[in-house]
Structure 1
Amino acid sequence: MKKKRANDIKNYKIPNQDDLVTDYIKDQLEEKMQASAMDINVFCENGHVHMSGMVDVLSEKKTAEAIAKGIERVKRIENKITVAMDSNITDKHMQKEVMARLIGVDHLLGVGVKIEDGVANLLGSTNTLKDAHTAMSIASQIRGIKDVVNNIHISTAQKYDDSRINSNVTQVLSTTDLDYMDIAHSVDHGKLTLSGYVHNKTEMEFAKEIAMGVEGITKVINKLKVRKR
């Protein structure tokens, strides 16, 4: 008995940082995606997360990556998760499904879609970049869609000059719980660059999401960093 216990101790592997990150990602996937995470494989090597397996819809693939991206010590993600295909679902059927959902959202009435070989090409216009991303999210939830291409025009792109847009970004950030004084930003022809520091990756993504809701912004480059403790 003592010999067996000694062998168990000898063969026991102390978890390293990558092991802990892998286990935590798996726990988060199971908690937030439940049954959808059952066929997702994850392992971490030197902070680089590798994801594979299969999900039912594109949005689940994106959700899995977003969950991993929000975890500390994750440096890079290689997402090779595939989306299950159903030969009975045609491009025409998917296009009808996407349009039905887009029409149900008031601020997306100007968005259309064309689907070819399972790839959804979003067209038309929205008032903000955030609205365009909402349309992308809706399309990615439709079964059979392999990818979503965003060709939506931001209708307010020429409405404000860069200085006004920059001021509006300051205003919206100041209404949040973020330490907005630690966040720098600049606008060049509608393209917003965020820099400075936040407390964690969740705040990093939140700042980007808030900024995308400002009219006139056509792209957000997120260079925010997590402040070292």
Structure 2
Amino acid sequence: MCLIGVAINEHKDYPFILVANRDELYNRPTKEAHYWPDYPLMLAGKDLVKGGTWLGISKEGKLAALTNYRELDEKQYAHSRGQLVTSFINSASEFEKILKNKNCYPGFNLLYGTTEKLVYTSNRDNQKRSITKGIHALANASLNSPWPKAMALKKGLHEILSLSSNDGLEQSLFQLLSDEKHFNDELLPDTGVGLTLERKLSPIFINIEGYGTRSSTVIMADRKGNVTFTEKAHAPKSHINTYEFKIGKNTFNKR
């Protein structure tokens, strides 16, 4: 399902910060974040079932991130949502074609653009908006919908980014993404899946039988265009990978 938070022009040293949790079946084959041999400018994880990705960034500074739109929809779709991210980063013409036929895809929310400006669009919500400032959250409904996990993520980002010191900033962001707090029933959305499942899906970090937060990602870009991309995988096995690069330079440094 996934959860994304973004802060643009809210931090004194890092005008772009994105945090994200990827929620997925534990047994769905996945490759960790890497630069793709067929798209060498793109850094992203890979869904090995459909071949797309949920989050990616290029050495040129193009970025896209995706969440599912939660709904009861039994329709079979020929296309995968993961194509939205890869096409935006790698092929403007293909991306425009996809947006014109976005109803051929399962319900999605998409953030796309650069570290200076993002655009939100969805095939389940008619609004399309640009983001150049502020703290925003995207769960499995429209941008900034008042889901408790989204509101908690925004509040946590405000608190973390208001601190004067950068010491432990990335660590604090990952700690926020690891919050397993469940929310009271009266705060939960009604998306048709039933109250029991709504409760299980309510935390920022999900951990239920066979399904949960597979990985967490923090992307930070400073005022000189230096980007740090850190992915922390949780299941089915854990690892941490960090890539560093400067926008416009065709190299990634892996720590």
Q: Between Structure 1 and Structure 2, which shows a larger proportion of strand residues?
A: 2
Larger radius of gyration: 1
TM-score (norm 2): 0.24
TM-score (norm 1): 0.26
Q: Between Structure 1 and Structure 2, which shows a larger proportion of helix residues?
A: 1
